[in-house]
Amino acid sequence: MNQITLFDLSNDSIEPENTPVIENEKQEIVSQTTCGLEKPDSITETSFELDQKVQVIVSDINSSDPEDYYYLIDFKNKRGFISNIYNGKVKSYSVIFNDGKEGIFYKKDLIAT
């Protein structure tokens, strides 16, 4: 029985059907890392601008994270101005309200007024 070394293998001995499996694995990993995040194109198309008037909206508790819901309920229907824009993984906005309070919100939590 002969022992095979790496030097005995050539590029021709690698089966071409193995390549698509590797590509599929890469595609799965990419789709997992971007899951739940907005696409950059959709963010720029529908973004708010600095000093723009906005109002906080609160969705049903069943359709959002409970922590988000109870944070938003304090700002429900309040109006303010965009004071800062944070360009992280998901774009968020700092809003200053007429009573001096400030909050940070995602686009889905705000509407233009």
State residue 85's pLDDT score: 96
How would residue 6 be classed by pLDDT, with cut points 50, 70 and 90? Answer: low
Whether the CB-CB separation of 55 and 113 falls below 8 Å is answered with yes
Cβ count near 108 (within 10 Å)? 12
Per-residue tokens: 84 = 């800062």
**Could you please report the per-residue DSSP string of 35-61?**
TTPPPHHHHHHT---TT-EEEE----G
pTM for the whole structure: 0.58
Q: For residue 86, is pLDDT > 80?
A: yes
Nearest CA-CA partner of 107 in 31, 51, 62, 42: 42
Tell me: pLDDT of 34 over 90.
no
Per DSSP, the chain holds a count of helices (H) and strands (E) of 3, 5
Asked if residue 23 has pLDDT above 50, the reply is no
- Neighbour-count burial of 35, counting CB atoms closer than 10 A to its CB (0-12 exposed, 13-18 middle, 19+ buried): exposed
Place of tokens 């907005």: 38
Contact yes or no for 86/74 (Cβ under 8 A) = no
Residue 61, pLDDT above cutoff 70: yes
Q: Which fold has domain 40-112?
A: SH3 type barrels. (2.30.30)
41: pLDDT strictly greater than 50: no
